[in-house]
Amino acid sequence: MSKFESRQSQLKLDTDEGWVVQVYGSNRRLLCVLEPSHGWIFLIGCGVGLLLSVIWINIARYSPSLEPPPPAESPALQVD
């Protein structure tokens, strides 16, 4: 195996790893790197948040209210 073949197989392995987004500032400094795992974690977090909000709304809809019901009739005034 020559140096050219080993280098070519190494480059092929690097390109099959997936995508990476690198964000740079105006002064050409690396600010952050977003990898595929970050995207999956974000989507899982959105799904869990949506699930919790649906559960919370259903619980709030069918739970009894905390305020006492208003009286049906006003009490009669007693005069001594």
Helices and strands: H and E segment counts in the chain: 2, 2
Q: What pTM, to 2 d.p., does this model score?
A: 0.51
21, 33 contact by CB (below 8 A): yes
Residue 60: pLDDT band with limits 50, 70, 90: confident
Please write the tens of the pLDDT for every residue from 11-55.
555 555 678 899 999 999 999 999 989 989 999 999 999 999 999
CB proximity list for 33: less than 8 A, separation 6 or greater: 20, 21, 22, 23
